[in-house]
């Protein structure tokens, strides 16, 4: 009797819906909260600041580890965001740790790409900045660049790094976040990929190449969209395919892939389990399997966020905001959302009225 009572009790308490927020163009523009995002998120907590509605951020962006991104978002948005509530384009790279745990891999992109990979468990990772610094003249344009990517490292570490780089082939390249220096990164990636991981040598088998997302464009602080990782991929691919007889092979992660939405559902479900842990003592074995009636994806990019939610199907319900990539009056023609609103605040208002 007590078991069925606790099950009933937890069912009453457990919400039957959850929310996935896109970040760029929905919650933030650059580092500035938009669309009433702060106020909207506050409504998902009780008066004591305890989370009552399960939600996550489901972004294709990245460059910092989930725990760092969570504290940065908490600061910007004024709510307490857990690392488990942050799912980034590169989060699935964790699944590749077993395959490349001790192999030399390089990490590309803004922020701290190598630190992200190390925290995921990759033990032999160098950023493309560190990697490039081991080869004199690898970037003939470096002398004209008004910035430096050289870090202060002692002689011993430099020697150790060079030793690794000259003796070990790069076994995989990970584009963690948007490339900062396209010309250098395209050059060095072409070197790595066409030689089988040893720049300056003869050609070899292309190591695997992974991208955290394939966004052609995304919304940042500038009024019109900015070129994203998908644009960088197209540039790299077009050049590689002209200089190399075999076409570039690569894997892209991130939305709109249905696996991202499956994973988001699992994470939201685990979040519900952790929120309701105290109600479920003795009710083992269902972590991550909480069934949702509806999961709301709130995004600004029709071909990425809305397309992804539509492909994922039940229980996803897509809401398109007008604060980012999409700026239309009516619904998007090719990837129509279940609902179009002006702002994320309006989206949260809609779903809370419907659900509560
Ligand atoms: O670089 C970030 C961008 O490609 C997309 O971010 O939050 O709109 O998925 P988001
Ligand atoms: Mg977006």
pLDDT tens for 40-59 read 999 999 999 999 999 999 99
Q: Is pLDDT above 80 for 5?
A: no
Ligand closest to 215 (CA) is 1
Cα dihedral sign for 344, 298, 50, 292?
Answer: positive
Q: What is the structure's pLDDT at 279?
A: 54
Q: How far is the CA of 81 from the centre of ligand 2 (A)?
A: 19
Please report which helix (H) or strand (E) contains residue 296, including its range. strand 294-299
Ligand 2 midpoint to CA 324 (Å)? 7
Instruction: Please give the Cα distance from 293 to 208 (Å, whole number).
Output: 39
pLDDT at residue number 13: 62
Residue 326: predicted pLDDT: 98
Distance CA 323, CA 34 (A): 8
Which ligand has an atom closest to residue 90 CA?
Answer: 1
Angle, helix 229-243 to helix 182-195, in steps of 10 degrees: 50
C-alpha 313 to ligand 2 mean position (Å): 20
> Token digits for 232?
């960088």
* Distance in angstroms (rounded) separating the CA atoms of residues 33 and 350: 20
Q: Of the candidates 152, 222, 148, which has an alpha carbon nearest to the alpha carbon of residue 180?
A: 148
| Rounded percentage of the chain residues whose pLDDT exceeds 70 | 93
CATH class assigned to 9-89+255-300+310-326+335-355: alpha beta
> Pick from 333, 261, 317: which is nearest to 92 by CA?
261
Q: What are the extents of the domains in the chain?
A: 9-89+255-300+310-326+335-355, 91-252
Interval 343-347 mean pLDDT: 98
Return the bridge partners of 204, or none.
195
What is the chain's Cα-based Rg? Answer: 22
Report the pLDDT value the prediction gives residue 288, as an integer from 0 to 100.
Answer: 56
Q: Chain-centre distance of CA 107, in angstroms?
A: 14
If phi > 0 it is left, if psi is from -120 to 50 it is alpha, else beta; for residue 313 that is left
Alpha carbon distances (Å) from 288 to 17, 57, 216, 262, 291:
14, 17, 32, 11, 9
Among the residues of the chain, which ranges form H helices?
2-13, 37-42, 66-77, 97-100, 113-120, 128-133, 155-167, 182-195, 229-243, 258-275, 307-312, 344-355
Is residue 72 within 8 Å of 36, Cβ to Cβ?
Answer: no
Residue whose CA is closest, atom 2 of ligand 1? 61
The mean per-residue pLDDT over the stretch 254-271 comes to 97
Q: What is the mean pLDDT of residues 242-257?
A: 98
CATH for 91-252 is 3.40.50.1000
Residue in 22, 26, 61 to alter for ligand 1 test, most ligand atoms within 8 A of Cβ = 61
Query: Which residue carries 């994203």 as its tokens?
Result: 228
pLDDT band at 255, cuts 50/70/90? very high
Instruction: Tell me the per-residue pLDDT of 130-176, one tens digit each, with 9 for 90 and over.
Output: 999 999 999 999 999 998 877 778 899 999 999 999 999 999 999 99
Contact between 291 and 10 (Cβ < 8 Å): no
Give the chain's length.
Answer: 356
Q: Inform me whether the pLDDT recorded for 79 exceeds 60.
A: yes
- pLDDT score for 318: 98
* 305 Cα: distance to centroid of ligand 2 (angstroms): 7
- Write out pLDDT tens, residues 273-321: 988 775 555 454 454 567 899 999 999 999 999 999 999 999 999 999 9
| pLDDT computed for residue 278 by the predictor | 53
Cβ distance 297 to 255 under 8 Å? Answer: no
Same fold, 9-89+255-300+310-326+335-355 and 91-252: yes
3-state secondary structure of 98: helix
pLDDT tens digits, 12-44: 467 899 999 999 999 999 999 999 999 999 999
pTM exceeding the 0.90 threshold for the entire prediction:
yes
Q: Which residues line ligand 1 (CB under 6 A)?
A: 22-25, 59-61, 178, 213, 215, 218, 228, 301
Average pLDDT, the chain: 93
| 6 within 8 A of 283, measured Cβ to Cβ | yes
Residue 11 reports pLDDT greater than 80: no
d(CA 23, CA 300): 9
**pLDDT at residue 75 greater than cutoff 70:** yes
Longest alpha-carbon distance in the chain: 76
């Amino acid at each position: 009797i007590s078991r069925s009572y606790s099950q009933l009790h937890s069912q009453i308490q457990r919400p039957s819906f959850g929310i996935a927020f896109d970040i760029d163009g929905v919650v933030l523009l650059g580092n500035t909260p938009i669309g009433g995002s702060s106020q909207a998120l506050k409504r998902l907590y009780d008066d004591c600041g305890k989370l009552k509605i399960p939600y996550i951020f489901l972004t294709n962006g990245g460059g910092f580890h989930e725990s760092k991104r969570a504290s940065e978002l908490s600061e910007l948005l004024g709510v307490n965001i857990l690392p488990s509530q942050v799912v980034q384009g590169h989060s699935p790279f964790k699944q590749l740790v077993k395959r490349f745990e001790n192999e030399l891999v390089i990490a590309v992109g803004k922020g701290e790409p190598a630190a992200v990979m190390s925290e995921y468990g990759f033990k032999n990772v160098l950023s493309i900045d560190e990697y490039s610094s081991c080869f004199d003249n690898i970037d003939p344009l470096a002398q004209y660049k008004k910035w430096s990517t050289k870090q202060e490292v002692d002689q011993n570490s430099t020697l150790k790094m060079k030793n690794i780089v000259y003796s070990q082939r790069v076994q995989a390249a990970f584009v963690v976040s948007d490339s900062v220096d396209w010309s250098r990164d395209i050059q060095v990636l072409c070197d790595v990929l066409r030689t089988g991981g040893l720049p300056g040598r003869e050609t070899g088998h292309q190591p695997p190449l992974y991208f955290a997302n394939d966004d052609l464009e995304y919304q940042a602080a500038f009024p019109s969209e900015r070129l994203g990782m998908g644009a960088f991929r197209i540039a790299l691919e077009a050049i590689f395919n002209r200089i190399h007889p075999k076409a570039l092979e690569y894997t892209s992660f991130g939305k709109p892939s249905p696996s991202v939405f499956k994973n988001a559902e699992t994470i939201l479900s685990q979040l519900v389990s952790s929120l309701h842990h105290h109600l479920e003592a003795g009710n083992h074995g269902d972590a991550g399997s909480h069934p949702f009636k509806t999961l709301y994806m709130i995004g600004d990019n029709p071909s990425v966020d809305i397309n992804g939610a539509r492909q994922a199907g039940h229980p996803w319900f897509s809401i398109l905001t007008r604060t980012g990539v999409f700026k239309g009056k009516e619904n998007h023609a090719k990837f129509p959302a279940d609902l179009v609103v002006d702002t994320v605040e309006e989206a949260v208002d809609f779903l809370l009225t419907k659900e509560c």
